[in-house]
Amino acid sequence: MERPAKYQYRPDQLSTTEADRLRVAILHLMVHCRGRENAITSKTLSEYLGSPRRSIRKAIELLIADGALIGSCQDGYYVIETQEELEEVVAVLRSRATSIFARYGSLKRAWERKGGAVVQPLLFGEARCHEQSDMSGVQRGDD
């Protein structure tokens, strides 16, 4: 992949906050990173943009939350171009989520066996989900 020259900020094109400027700059660079085979690492983005890798990762997280189709793999970040690329990214996310939930469940059960206080839910709706499943066989008066 041909790498772009070090990005030069053009104040007339960018928003006022540093975070906004960083997101715009990343989007400009990602034009060269279409498809997994053209992935770019957070280290390379950090070097081009002169921002810490943590800031790069946070900016990409926000771009995705705003609707950007940015995937990641071992080679870095890229613009998702195909259904197959999207499915690969989703499979990795699902695997990570499953692993996190399993670890949470193990820690929660171990803590409760030790006699510790009830652990806060991992997700906001988790407590309600458990209450509903505990009451699945109970007749409600408002039916």
Would you tell me which CATH number, out of the four given (1.20.1250.20, 1.10.10.10, 1.20.1070.10, 1.10.357.10), belongs to the domain 11-81? 1.10.10.10
| 93 closest CA partner among 105, 107, 80 | 80
What pLDDT does residue 126 have? 63
Domains of the chain, by residue range, sit at 11-81, 84-134
pLDDT computed for residue 30 by the predictor: 93
> What is the pTM (predicted TM-score) of this model?
0.69
pLDDT score for 136: 40
Residue ranges of the chain whose pLDDT lies below 50 = 1, 3, 5-15, 128-143
3: phi then psi, degrees, rounded to nearest 5: -85, 140
Q: Is 88 helix (H, G, I), strand (E, B) or coil?
A: helix
Task: Give 46-85 pLDDT, tens digit per residue.
Answer: 999 999 999 999 999 999 999 999 999 999 999 999 999 9
Please name the amino acid found at residue 116: G
